[in-house]
Amino acid sequence: MRKINEECGVFGIFNHPNASELTYFALQALQHRGQEGAGIVTSDGNILKQYKGMGLVNQIFTETKLKKLRGQHSIGHVSYTTSGDGNLLNVQPFLFHSQSGQLALCHNGNIVNSKAIKHHLENNGSIFQTTSDSEVLAHLVKKQRGTFIERLKESLVYLEGAFAFLLLLEDELFIALDKHGLRPLSIGKIDNAYVVASETCAFETIGAKFIRDVLPGEVIRISETKMETSNYAINGKCQLCAMEYIYFSRPDSELLGNNVHAVRKRCGINLANEAPVDADVVIGVPDSGMSSAIGFAEKARIPFELGIIKNKYIGRTFIEPSQKLRDLGVKLKLSAVRSLIENKNVVLIDDSIVRGTTIIKLVKMLKVAGAKAVHVRIAAPIIKFPCFYGVDFTTYQELIGAKHKTDAIRVLIGADSLAYLSLAGLIDAIGNKNICSACFNGEYPTHLYEKIEKANLERK
Ligand code: SF4
């Protein structure tokens, strides 16, 4: 069950004889970041070839299709579309052919001023192929003068928001991260090939070695002979999306040197300190609530149990369009273990509450299974503000935490008690303040252009 969706995950590899196959396996490791569509573009040094489709990575690619993607350089993408329409045209990587050559591009994040840039470019003759915000970079690059890296850096200056871009030419790979470092991006190596991925779990899957994280504002060029680094903007303070720690990233990934499972566990420990409760059993909501539940149970000295089981073989619930079908999906996907819950005071740990629809059903499910009381503990602060950086809660209206106070939320979700981790508790668990926490405190790291006005209008 994905109660929040992020735009996507990216992967790139330069100079490996099995580039397309390794990209395929890496995209499978990043599948949790997007399940609507996936694509790969490969270059053999002369020609760029593309294949993309809707659905999961293993539904889109077959051995035969991968064999056709011959070449030693690849970029790949898994998507959940938060900007543009969720159709095949918007599935990345995008591939452009022009007189100056071929260019493939993929992107994780959201460019907050893309509308204004697109408008300007269209007025000056650009014809867009997709409705995705990512395409603006390709058009901007085309308009500049100089070498490709000069044109790229010049273009990136115009962009505001969150972005981790991969750009593939016939025989060069370019990597760019926004100046706030809002989205994660890491570099590794396998044999003689450089790899780049949204999360380090992709490196583990293909046997690559982590080298380092890409820095905010950094632009990297990888060619046959070397990896060169430069900047399009002065390295500012890194403000990695806090929800990467809380929810998006896989527990086995390392974000800026922090293991995600360990951070979530510390969130659970801090939550037990901040909001203790007398109970018989601690239960985590699979998957992202589990690490915090382990931490909470350990600190509170209450037994941890697998009181909710996830059926891994049910399709992801967000794919279903209507709320009615989504509701059905929740029931199909998670079930309570009656023998562990009946007549018990239960602490239910979840990673976050966004709209509240999931937690309402879970509390009810535990009560139907015989729980005496359900005490909900959330291992993140209250989400009160929308996100404009590629995460799919973009209005105040949809956020239960923006509309109600904690006790009203407790009543709405049917819990016997409810408490959230404080922002200080989250920062302590992460070990530094290098995070974006805008959805908790409204302190957005970038200018938001028209989006905040739109979100504010919806609040009224
Ligand atoms: S607003 Fe929240 S979800 Fe969006 S980038 Fe910042 S921390 Fe992440």
Q: Looking at the domain assignment, is residue 51 inside a domain?
A: yes
Query: Residue 311 Cα, ligand 1 centroid: separation in angstroms?
Result: 29
Q: Per DSSP, which regions of 208-296 are E strands? A: 209-213, 218-223, 227-231, 240-241, 254-255, 258-259, 281-284
Ligand 1 pocket residues where CB is under 6 Å: 182, 241-243, 387, 389, 391, 436-439
Residues 201 and 318 in one domain: no
Give the count of beta carbons closer than 10 Å to the beta carbon of residue 64: 7
Would you please indicate which residues are annotated as catalytic (active-site) residues? 8
Residues 221 and 358 in one domain: no
Q: Looking at the domain assignment, is residue 438 inside a domain?
A: no
Residues 195 and 337 in one domain: no
Phi-psi region of 442 (alpha: psi -120 to 50; beta: other; left: phi over 0): left
Domain boundary among 222, 238, 254: 238
Residue nearest to atom 8 of ligand 1 (CA): 241
Q: Which residues of the chain have pLDDT under 50?
A: 1, 82, 317-321
Domain hosting 364: range is 263-432+450-459
Q: Looking at the domain assignment, is residue 352 inside a domain?
A: yes
Q: Looking at the domain assignment, is residue 428 inside a domain?
A: yes
Taken in order 146, 148, 150, 151, is the CA torsion positive or negative?
positive
Query: Residue 335 Cα, ligand 1 centroid: separation in angstroms?
Result: 30
Using CA atoms, how far apart are residues 145 and 26, in angstroms rounded to an integer?
35
pLDDT value, residue 321 = 41
Best residue among 180, 239, 241 to mutate for probing ligand 1, ranked by most atoms within 8 Å of CB: 241
pLDDT value, residue 330 = 56
Residue nearest to atom 5 of ligand 1 (CA): 241
Give the count of beta carbons closer than 10 Å to the beta carbon of residue 331: 12
Dihedral, CA of residue 303, residue 308, residue 309 and residue 314, to nearest 10: -160
Query: Residue 241 Cα, ligand 1 centroid: separation in angstroms?
Result: 5
Using the structure block, give the residue that is written with the tokens 């060069």. Answer: 172
Of 210, 179, 180, 205, which Cα lies nearest the Cα of 194?
210
Using CA atoms, how far apart are residues 357 and 434, in angstroms rounded to an integer?
30
Contact 94, 139 (CB under 8 A): no
**Which amino acid is located at 102 in the chain?**
Q
The full DSSP string for 297-331 is HHHHT--EE--EEE-TTSPPGGGS-SHHHHHHHHH
Residues 27 and 146 in one domain: yes
Residue nearest to atom 4 of ligand 1 (CA): 387
Atom of ligand 1 nearest to the CA of 241: 8
Residues 299 and 200 in one domain: no
R_g (Cα) of the chain, nearest Å: 22
pLDDT value, residue 320 = 45
Query: Residue 145 Cα, ligand 1 centroid: separation in angstroms?
Result: 34
**What is the Cα 414 distance to its own chain's centre?**
30
pLDDT tens-digit series, residues 256-288: 999 999 999 999 999 999 999 999 999 999 988
Q: Looking at the domain assignment, is residue 249 inside a domain?
A: no
The number of CA neighbours under 13 Å toward the Cβ of 368 is 10
Residues 92 and 131 in one domain: yes
Q: How far apart are the first and last CA of the chain?
A: 30
Best residue among 2, 389, 427, 435 to mutate for probing ligand 1, ranked by most atoms within 8 Å of CB: 389
Using CA atoms, how far apart are residues 18 and 31, in angstroms rounded to an integer?
20
Total domains, the chain: 2
Helices 357-368 & 406-413 angle (0-180, nearest 10)? 50
Residues 195 and 290 in one domain: no
pLDDT value, residue 7 = 63
Q: Looking at the domain assignment, is residue 354 inside a domain?
A: yes
Residues 414 and 300 in one domain: yes
Domain at 388, CATH number: 3.40.50.2020
Instruction: Name the pTM for this structure.
Output: 0.92
Residues 369 and 280 in one domain: yes
Residues 210 and 327 in one domain: no
pLDDT value, residue 130 = 87
Using the structure block, give the residue that is written with the tokens 């408008």. Answer: 119
Q: Looking at the domain assignment, is residue 155 inside a domain?
A: yes
pLDDT value, residue 222 = 98
pLDDT value, residue 98 = 83
Residues 24 and 114 in one domain: yes
Of 196, 180, 138, which Cα lies nearest the Cα of 16?
196
